[in-house]
Each structure stands twice: as C-alpha cells, then as structure tokens.
Amino acid sequence: MLPFLYHSEGMKKMKYQQLITFILQQIGGKENILTVTHCMTRLRFTLKNDELVKEEELLKSPDIMTAQFAGGRYQIVVGTHVAQVYQELQQTLGLADNAPEEQKGFLNSLIDTITKVITPVLGILTASGLLQGILALLVVLNVLNTDDGAYIILHAMGQTVFYFLPVALGYTSAKAFKLNPYVGMMLGASLVIPELMTNLTTNEALYTLFQGSFFETPVYKTFFGLPILFPANGYQYTVIPVIFMTFVGAKVERFLQRVIPAILAHNLNAFLTILITVPLSILFIGPVTNVLSQLISAGVSGLYTISPIVTSIVVALLYQPLVILGLHWPLSAIGINNLATLGSDYIFPMSFTANFAQTAVVLAVFLRTRSKETKTLAIPAMISGIFCIIEPAIYGFSLPVKKRFAFSMLGGAVGSVILALFSAKMYTFSFGALGFVAFINPETGSMTGLYLALLATAATMAVAFLLTYFTFSEQVAHEPKDSLIHSEEILAPFTGTVKPLAASQDATFAKGEIGKGIVITPTEGELRAPVSGTVTTVFPGGHAIGITSSSGIEVLIHVGIDTVELKGTGFAVEVVPGQKVQQGQLLGTVDLAAILTAGYDTETVILITNAQEYLDVMMTEQTKVKNTDLLLTVIPFAQNKEIAFAVEGN
C-alpha cells in the first residue's frame, strides 16, 4: 500500500477504506471484533479470538507503524490520522457510535457542555476558595496585614487559578469540542498574556467607536486596519470567551484536517488553527461577549431606578445562572463603581446570599445521601461555598440535578428580597462568611445591616435546604453500558496481600502506562469476578482476563509476571469472551504452587484500563483482602448526568 500522501478528501477516504479492509482481513474479520476504540495514534481492538490475528502480515503494511497486544486489547498504531481511520472503521462496522446524537435541546446541550468544561477544574477552584477564605480569616484576626510578604504570596496563590482560568478552560473546552487540548491551552493563554492588555488599552486612543452611545469604546490599536476592541480589564477571570474560542478553533481544526495532507498535518494544523482562531476571537468573539455584559449592566441599573424590590428578585434569580456563564462580572462592576463613588452599594446585597443557598443544597444532599463518595465531595464544596466559591457546589451538586439549582435560586431570591425591603447596603467588597462585616456602616457604626444580613442568610439557607432535603430520593440509575453512571466498587478477585501499583515488579504496570490499579499477591487460587459485566477477552493460556462492567469500566486481571510463557500451565479458566458474569462469580482457578515451582511470580495486577475517563480510582487501605472485599473504587466525573453520584433525577 502507498502511504497517506493524498490531498483530496476522496482519495483519503479511499486509502482509509483500503487500510481498514486490510486490517479486518488480518484480525479475523468483522465478526471477531467485540469493541474498538482509539487514542492519539492507535486503534484498540477487543477481539473474540486473539489467535486469529496475523501479526506478521499486519506489520508488512507501510501504513501500520506497529501492532501488538497490550492492556487486554490488540493495538494497531496507524499514526496521527487515527481519528479519521476510526471514523471510517465505525461506518464499516456499523457500530452505534455513528448513530445520530440525541437531540437534547439548546438549554440542556448548553448546560451539558459547560458542565463538561468546568467539572475537571473543580479541584483547583475549591483549593483557591479555601486558600482565600483562610487568608481573609488571618487578616480579620490580625495575624497578617495586607502588606506582609506572606499575605502577598498567599493572595497570589489564591488568585492564580482565576487569573489563568482561561488557560485551564482552554484545555477542558478543547476536550469537550474534540480539539487538540494543547491548542486549546494556547488559545486560552492568548487571552490573558499581559502584553495584550498593556499594549492594547493604553496611550492615546486612535478614535472612538459608537461615540455618544452606551457602547462607546476607545480604539487604541488596529489589526490590519480592523479596530481592536479589547476590554480595559482584559479577559482574566472570564469563562464564556474561551469556550466560544475553542468551539470555533475545533471547527477550524476539523476543516484543516480535511484539506491538509496527512504528511503536513502534524506541523501545520496546530499552527494554522491558532493563527486563524486567536485574531478572530480578539476581533469578534471577545467584543460580542463584552456587548452582552454591557447590556446586562444597563438592564440592572435601569430596573433599579423603577423598583428596588423587583430588581432584587431579578438579580437574585439571574445571578447563579450568570455565574455558570461567567457573565456575573458586570454586576460586580456596577457594585464596585457604587462603592467607589457613593461609599455604599445596593447590588452586592442582592447576590450576597447566593453562595449560602448553594451551601444549603449541598448540606441537604450530604445529610440524605448514602454514597460515601458524595459525602466526601460535599465537605470541601460546603467549605468553599461558605467562602463564596460556589462553582464546586454548582457543577458538582446542584446543576446536574436541575431542580436543586432552582431551589438554590429561590433561596437566594428570598434573602435578596429581605435585604431590599429594608434597603440594606454593603460598604465594602467582601462576601461569604467573612462578608457580614461589610454591612456595618463605617460612619455611624450601625449594626442594623449586619443583623439583616444574618436574618436574610438564615431564610435563604432554610428555603434551599428544606426544598432539597424533602424532595431528595436516591435511586440506582439505568444507562447504556458505555456511559459513566456512578461510583463503582471493584472487589478483590483473589484472597491475598495488597500493595500499590507503583510497587509492581513489572515496569510497564508500575508506571501506570496501561491504567490505574493495584497489586495482589494471591494466597488462594480461586479467581472471582471483581465486577458484574461482560467478559471481553481471555488471553491465550488464561493468564489474563478482561471484563467490562455494566457501567463501562474496563477491568483487566493479569495473573503473574511473564506467565504467558507457561502457555496455560496452572490456569483453569471457566469463562469465555462475550459471557455475562456476576460480581463474585468464579472465573477459574490458578495453581499457585505450580506457577511458583515453574519459577514465576504470582503477583497479580488489577487495572482499570480506561481510568482516564474517570475522576479517580481509589485503592483500599487494607494490606490483606479476601476475594469478596472492596479493592478499588472508581469515581466518575460530575458531568456524567445527574446520576453521577447515584442521586435523584430531574
């Protein structure tokens, strides 16, 4: 076969189809394939019968770099164009991945996308919230002053995640939109590089656009004659611009993949994607986002002059959705301006209780759920919520179950109305548990605002907590086997002693190159199923068995070091590929004494080979286990539907 050097899309498709036909011939045909996936360069096949593979013939193809068994699958390395080959392969096989996606509607699709983008950064958001809360407490207790070196360093640590949030979101957005994630990071970084704000918003303006209107904008620089409308405060702390930016970047990259020859794609695709997307974003996407922000600011200010009560309800109901969209900053801008010019503000009190509403929702879930994983995640979410970092609560607990998010909105509105009824104002910029002092009038020393804030917060938390608590119902979800449904417990397949994967004698396993997991040295020979699911592979000789759980977790049990050389001696396997098994079911027996006598180690590795699709894989703290004991706990990402923590539906 000729290498992939063709420019036209039609020729590429033909060459991909020829390669696919060749591969299928050498691995036993369509009927021998159980599943197929791909990574950056290789196709990964789970086969019914591994002995049908003609590896020598595969390696003769100039379009195949290498082929081998690894991680319970047969892997064929074809290069960086693997995604296109995989797409053609899916069509050839007629697999379900090519079925049209469910039409979710705009709102659900938007929420799903934003959740996928935000959830992976919840950990660093929580860390930042805790750090800022502790720092504020140290200042209140006079342990630190704001000009101390320790304060400066700790404050910078707390602000770093928000300042560079577009970089992190560039990566997660790229993953969501199937863009090269490193290109996504570059796109995000281009929004926050300091020289842009320094050079695009200073010196004398060339001219002013929309002069005399609400959207009046000075232009300091042009891009080949086009005006650059760069915000004075830059794009730090923003969410929406980088999401739209990576969405456009993904479209650009896919277009380039169709028109650029494969031999040039590795060097040109990333370059051209960045070259096209960054100017497009700075010139158009960013300004459009700013216009939207200005419209929000104008709407709030105008509404307040008509009715403060109505304004408080509108702001309170909209504030939390705006946090999701990253569009709540215009409200903060109004408040900061009021503090600077008037010495007090009416906007901040309208959103003051929102974080307490979210915290109350998480508290209710914490008290009602039976899931240990949910309780573990709830504690840091509540702590950060108290210090006004509500993203972990929103994306981890309330947004995935939409009625909870509605409850938090209603709770926030109740507190907002109470504060508006009594015209409570804030005199400094401070939120969360330490923000109550902002309601103390510095001129008169009046504590009335503080008492009102405490009352409003109590009412907010009561409403959000009670609505969530009494409508909570925990249930086991039923989803397709390939979706990540809930945290799942992996039982020990053997009775024996346990040690971390990093301590494995096999360097490949120890490095985690095939997946996350744990090591057992068996003391008894009964091998039992660690999960309920389908046996996807049984290696020749029976020294390794792969099982895919009913929720999609891929478990590989590899018994012994180099025991493939025994060619089945000492192994008696009682299951076959495609067979359904129940957790704890006998899979076979292993003659440990025979393996040791033959000079091989019985160290057994239990791996989650698709661990990258999950938030974490936690190992037992026990050093000795029985083959019915908990060994591993697989925790999904929070964005995997409202059932990610096995909680109630909508």
Give the active site residues: 39
d(CA 61, CA 509): 29
**CB under 8 A, 24+ apart: contacts of 543-546:** 543/568, 543/571, 544/72, 545/573, 545/575, 545/587, 545/588, 546/46, 546/72, 546/73, 546/609
DSSP assignments along 242-298, one per residue:
HHHHHHHHHHHHHHHHHHS-HHHHHHHHHHHHHHHHHHHIIIIIHHHHHHHHHHHHH
d(CA 530, CA 233): 54
DSSP assignments along 335-390, one per residue:
HHHHHHHHS-BSHHHHHHTHHHHHHHHHHHHHHH---HHHHHHHHHHHHHHHTT--
Cα dist from 226 to 158, 284, 292, whole Å:
37, 10, 21
d(CA 499, CA 522): 12
Structure tokens at 34: 């159980």
Pairing of strands 533-538, 544-549: antiparallel
Cα dist from 168 to 117, 390, 391, whole Å:
9, 18, 15
> Which helix (H) or strand (E) covers residue 315, if one does?
helix 308-325
3-class DSSP state of 413: helix
CB atoms within 10 A of CB 151: 16
Decide: 417 and 309 in contact? Cβ < 8 Å. Answer: yes
DSSP state of 565: G
DSSP assignments along 151-173, one per residue:
HHHHHHHHHHHHHTHHHHHHHHH
d(CA 157, CA 297): 30
Structure tokens at 297: 């600011």
* Helix, strand and coil in the chain, % to nearest 5: 50, 15, 35
Decide: 546 and 556 in contact? Cβ < 8 Å. Answer: yes
d(CA 619, CA 622): 9
Q: Which residues contact 559 (CB under 8 A, 6 or more apart)?
A: 522, 527, 543, 544, 571, 590, 602, 604
Cα dist from 626 to 504, 532, 537, whole Å:
20, 18, 24
Decide: 397 and 118 in contact? Cβ < 8 Å. Answer: no
Decide: 547 and 528 in contact? Cβ < 8 Å. Answer: no
Dihedral over Cα of 372, 373, 378, 383: its sign: positive
d(CA 503, CA 497): 13
Query: Which amino acid is it at 190?
Result: S
